[in-house]
A and B are shown apart, each in its own frame.
Chain A
Amino acid sequence: MPTPSGEQPQRLGVGSGELPRWEEGADLSIVGRAHPRVEGDAKVTGGAQYASDVRLPGQLYARVLRSPYAHARLTGLDTGRAAALPGVHAVLSSANAPEIAWYEDSLLFDRTLRFVGDEVAAVAAESEEIADDALRLIVDAYEPLPFVLDLDTALAPDAPKLRPSGNLNGEPTVYERGDLAAGLRDADVIVEETYVTQAALHNCLEPHGCTAAWDGDRLTLWSSTQSVFDVRQRVAEALGLPEHHVRVIKQHMGGGFGSKQIAWKQDVIAALLAKESGRPVQLMLDREAENLAVGNRNPTRQRVRLGAKRDGTLTAIAVDAAQQIGAHPVGGEGADVPAIYQNLYRCPNVRTEQRLVFTNTGPAVAFRAPGHVEAAFALEQAMDQLARALDLDPLELRRRNYADQDQAEGKPYTLPEALGRCYDLAADAFGWAGYQKPPAAGPKRRGVGLAAHDWAGGGGSPPGYAWVKWNADGSVDVVTGTQDIGTGARTGLTQVAAEELGLPMDRVALHLGDTANGPYAPVSSGSATQSTIGPAIRAAAADAKRQLFEAASEFLEAPPEAMTIRDGKIHVAGEPEDRATPVGDVTAQIAPTMIQGHGERGPNPEDKSVRTVGAQIVEVEVDTETGEVSVCRVVAAHDCGRIINPTLVDSQVIGGVTQGIGFALFEDRVVDAGTGVVLNANLEDYHVPTAADVPPIRNVHLNLPDREANPTGAKGIGEPPLIPTAPAIANAVYDAIGVRIRELPLSRRRVLDALATREAPR
């Protein structure tokens, strides 16, 4: 084991950079297997504890009063009758809440309200029903202000302003390489189109919320969050507490999709109500609040220009993107729309411009592959249009513009062949080359479409830590501060520990999601949990294993270097198999002395870029009389490096494609133009795809360990599967009916309208 260089501060344990890599073809027995979820039993039996399952003695339930106006000043608030309602224990509003800064330029309870759903007051009562009744007793008065609800009105010269500085969040961000004008001049063919994407709502099955309980001046918060450490930091800051007086716990979660990657107001509101009432307080959002106030995918308008030579070589790529970020800069509202334009295809002349626009609508926040999903819808349709203009197979056009390096960063990819391999796998599995359209039957038309993606995430990064403790019986506890947001991270990470330690899965217990009982791990976002924390756990396990061998050396009379662990037994090189010693014999001998391993995530390669890529091909059927689009089948191929657990990867792909189908065909927050009220902040009008909408989805496994990303070779897969689905569907719809629809969703009405004004196929 190499020791840290003399320059570095003294450090406990192992950095993952010091580990030998699990190469392609490495002899691994647990990593790579479809192990069932370790928390599966708890989930199907109802034993798994979610934020709303917490029940503490004397617990109260809180509800929030929200602004009925898109833009208003609160001019009066009488909470007297609400406070007097039997069963009500605390009422908070701008009248009595501490002035806590929030959203850069506003307060926890601000008197200027900037969207329908902005927080006005909160009540804690003995039941949700009483709290709900109490909200109805609050008398609130407002001075309505002029508002803007969409990009067009917000960007108009005389538009009402959300902020003194106007409706732009900062200056436009411009990226340029090469000479765009020259690239467009050199082009034989130019595609120039504008695409519009909609506000999609995350609709996590489990809404946002938390339970807050004080013990003296110490706060415990069970929060439905993607980041226990970020919530701790933000809540401690807001309440003026030292961080170690706040403990944030999250054990199980029904989805976050980016919307839970930051601390939201309810974390602090619940804590304040609990303080005020002297009782634990649970504040879970209902579906409506969930769909108003805690994030959405930013609507975009993207003007795209592509230039290409006759042979398909791209000479220019440009996008001018306006993104509607809603009322507040919540953190993570500026989705990276430009990234795909900069990197998915090789092109010397690229210009991207991005403007973030405030509107009086609920705040946007990261949503599974933020920016990339929106951008792929535009770029991948433009590429399809270009292929048809050049009479090239859309897949061939993509191959001719293959990028094997990160052009924005100027670094080669760690796995430059990955996208090409995904193209091959998806095309073969789908039967792309030989595809024959079935003859048109009645009003139904079939078509196929393809889209590719690149994703800035998946690689993970330091810092992130883990501990491994050997118990006296030879089992281990693995402790880390990360979280499993429903993806199955617990299982994948346990597999890494079990593999490195040579233990069966049931001898490894993984503990996570508790700031008080585990070392720092970052937010579970960017598809990075496995690739950030997996290596740290492997390093901690290696450290614990080395120490175990040293301790065993004396008993087994063999040098540590000669030892390995397989299936819970220590084997000494050269000795017969049946002489192997159960690890428990060693740990029991030394108990209560406890061996502890410490691991940390090492750095990423400096001169390479770690990204994830993939491609999807879909077949659709369009009913030309009703406008209904049915997705018949989807084939996906994605690079996520080494596959730690194929079931978990398939689940992410199926879930991502399902969300992609919803984004493509159904999902669309509708805001009333006259009032700013969201008309479908529920699941009765807003359709999230169900099993009945989902066709067979085939995920073809590339399973190519990333040689340089990190020593486990694994990268993330959480977000990417959603990126190419909508453009692949749109391209397939075009293939079916010869009409390009450049606005999402491809609702039945929109498809029918488009058919009515059918343009000549281009």
Chain B
Amino acid sequence: MFPNRFEYRRPGSLAEAVQILAENPDAKLLAGGHSLLPAMKLRLAAPSTLVDLSQIEGLRGIAANGALTIGALATYNQVHDSAAVRQAAPMLADTCGIVGDPQVRVRGTLGGSLAHADPAADLTAVVLALGGEVTVVGSGGERTIAADDLFVDLLTTSLAPEEIITEIRIPDLAGAKMAYEKHEHPASGYAVVGVAAVLAMGDGGTIRSARLAVTGATAKATRLSSAEAVLAGKTVRTETIAAAAAAAADGLEINGDLYASADYRRHLVGVLTRRALERATG
């Protein structure tokens, strides 16, 4: 349970951080450390250099202006406690209050969670369902990646090795109904399965469009497109929700592990989809 030896750097600017990353191909960014350090202790990760982001200004702010902008280094607790987030995207604020345990929420960051892309992370599915995007800075300058394009595979994102997430943006979702339902692992607290649902509402209680995302079940956070298709254009009714839940796991490649078989997870995808939709619309 001891990491390999590594060098520790603490740059004062994004440019400096990008440069260190470019010069050290197996360097790793350090944000809250709650995914990276456990992996290093198990020697699943052995970076030569840690690049601590904590001294870089301007990565923690939270601003709302219809859309929501959250600095990559904002911690779960900061997001959970933010009135602006609660107002604009209550599901995001709520979820940040149930990630892991208090220690994790004090240090863990939104940027770290999205960059790590743990298959059982909560925020990946939540940001995906919210239709969020991330701003990244790298040697080629700044670009924006939609959450839909961010998660590539197990622990893999579309970030280039020397790219740094600087902020997360959530579009204006005024009037949307949303909820995240999680079945947590009894020991680790991670999502065995989690389903996030965001419904954009039209007139007379119809669902204009739906974005649903699952975590825990698949290699990466994934849209539940079959359920979304069932919901789009329908009015919110018990039968609609049941039909969406029944379709939710269609087409998913679901993984099993020590704790939960693929079948059990498939079952939970349906149950949690229904519960998320019920709570969002209830």
Whether B2 pairs with A132 at a CB distance below 8 angstroms is yes
Which residues of chain B in 1-38 are interfacial with respect to chain A, using CB atoms and an 8 Å cutoff?
1-2
Min Cβ gap B186→A in Å is: 4
Knowing A749-B260, A749-B261, A752-B267 are in contact, say whether A286-B187 is a contact too (CB < 8 A): no
Whether B264 pairs with A749 at a CB distance below 8 angstroms is yes
Number of residues in A with C-beta < 8 Å to the partner? 24
Q: Is B188 interfacial (CB-CB < 8 Å)? A: yes
**Interface SS of chain B:** loop
Min Cβ gap B173→A in Å is: 28
Knowing A625-B271, A666-B186 are in contact, say whether A685-B259 is a contact too (CB < 8 A): yes
Inter-chain contacts of B260 with A (CB < 8 A): 748-749
The proximity string for B residues 170-185 relative to A, scoring 1 for CB distances below 8 Å and 0 otherwise, is 0000000000000101
Inter-chain contacts of B261 with A (CB < 8 A): 749
Whether B267 pairs with A687 at a CB distance below 8 angstroms is no
Task: Indicate the size class of the contact surface on chain B.
Answer: 10 to 19
Q: Is A626 interfacial (CB-CB < 8 Å)? A: yes
Whether B187 pairs with A686 at a CB distance below 8 angstroms is yes
Inter-chain contacts of B188 with A (CB < 8 A): 684-685
The proximity string for A residues 274-289 relative to B, scoring 1 for CB distances below 8 Å and 0 otherwise, is 0000000000001100
Complex: how many Å from CA A368 to CA B246? 45
Which residues of chain A in 282-318 are interfacial with respect to chain B, using CB atoms and an 8 Å cutoff?
286-287
Inter-chain contacts of A665 with B (CB < 8 A): 186
Whether A670 pairs with B258 at a CB distance below 8 angstroms is yes
Q: Is B227 interfacial (CB-CB < 8 Å)? A: no
Inter-chain contacts of A679 with B (CB < 8 A): 258
B185, B186, B258 interface centre (most CB from chain A within 10 Å): B186
Complex: how many Å from CA A679 to CA B268? 23
Complex: how many Å from CA A666 to CA B187? 9
Complex: how many Å from CA A286 to CA B1? 8
Inter-chain contacts of A683 with B (CB < 8 A): 187
The proximity string for A residues 741-755 relative to B, scoring 1 for CB distances below 8 Å and 0 otherwise, is 000000011001000
Whether A687 pairs with B2 at a CB distance below 8 angstroms is no
Whether B2 pairs with A128 at a CB distance below 8 angstroms is yes
Knowing A666-B186, A752-B264 are in contact, say whether A685-B258 is a contact too (CB < 8 A): yes
Whether B258 pairs with A626 at a CB distance below 8 angstroms is no
Complex: how many Å from CA A228 to CA B260? 43
The proximity string for B residues 153-194 relative to A, scoring 1 for CB distances below 8 Å and 0 otherwise, is 000000000000000000000000000000101111000000
Whether A626 pairs with B187 at a CB distance below 8 angstroms is no
Min Cβ gap A244→B in Å is: 38
Please list the residues of chain B having a beta carbon within 8 angstroms of any beta carbon in chain A: 1-2, 183, 185-188, 258-261, 264, 267-268, 271
Instruction: Kindly list the 10 A-B residue pairs having the minimum CB-CB distance in the complex, ordered from nearest.
Output: A687-B187, A687-B186, A625-B271, A129-B2, A749-B264, A684-B188, A132-B2, A679-B258, A666-B186, A670-B258
Please, could you name 14 A-B residue pairs with CB atoms under 8 Å apart, sorted by A? A128-B2, A132-B2, A133-B2, A625-B271, A626-B268, A628-B183, A665-B186, A680-B258, A684-B188, A685-B187, A685-B188, A686-B187, A687-B186, A688-B187
Taking A626-B268, A626-B271 as known contacts, 20 extra A-B pairs with beta carbons closer than 8 A to each other, sorted by chain A number, are A129-B2, A133-B2, A286-B1, A287-B1, A625-B271, A626-B183, A628-B183, A666-B186, A666-B187, A679-B258, A680-B258, A683-B187, A684-B187, A684-B188, A685-B188, A688-B187, A748-B264, A749-B261, A749-B264, A752-B264
Please list the residues of chain A having a beta carbon within 8 angstroms of any beta carbon in chain B: 128-129, 132-133, 286-287, 625-626, 628, 665-666, 670, 679-680, 683-688, 693, 748-749, 752
